[in-house]
Amino acid sequence: MKINEVTEIIKVFSKKTIGNDAQVIQVTKEDDGWLARVVVFEESAFIKSVGLSTNVQDRNIYEIKLNDELKVVSYSREKGTQSE
């Protein structure tokens, strides 16, 4: 399996699941599959909560795990990655 194939699967998954384009910043082969980290720019949760209209975005990093068959088995946003 090539890293380029894994990267494309990660990008498609991110677009469908998170809803934004993702920049893949890390792909690592592990014993039981693959681990990837991506950067996604999303509408600022804080700005949205106070009802302001702006283009401010949070920079979030997500960790995505795939098994050896390249099926996503988990994903999560890393804590503390939103811009402040």
Nearest to 7 by CA among 31, 36, 44: 36
CA distance 43 to 58: 6
Per-residue pLDDT, 44: 80
- Per-residue burial over 55-73, b if 16 or more Cβ lie within 10 Å, else e, is eeebebbbebbbeeeeebe
Most confident of 18-22, 27-31, 54-58: 27-31
* Inter-residue contact 14 to 20 (CB < 8 Å): yes
Query: How does residue 2 score in pLDDT terms, banded at 50, 70 and 90?
Result: confident
Per-residue pLDDT, 42: 85
What lies within 8 Å, CB to CB, of 69 at 6+ separation is none
Helix (H) or strand (E) holding 49: helix 45-49
Q: Structure pTM?
A: 0.80
Asked if pLDDT for residue 28 goes beyond 60, the answer is yes
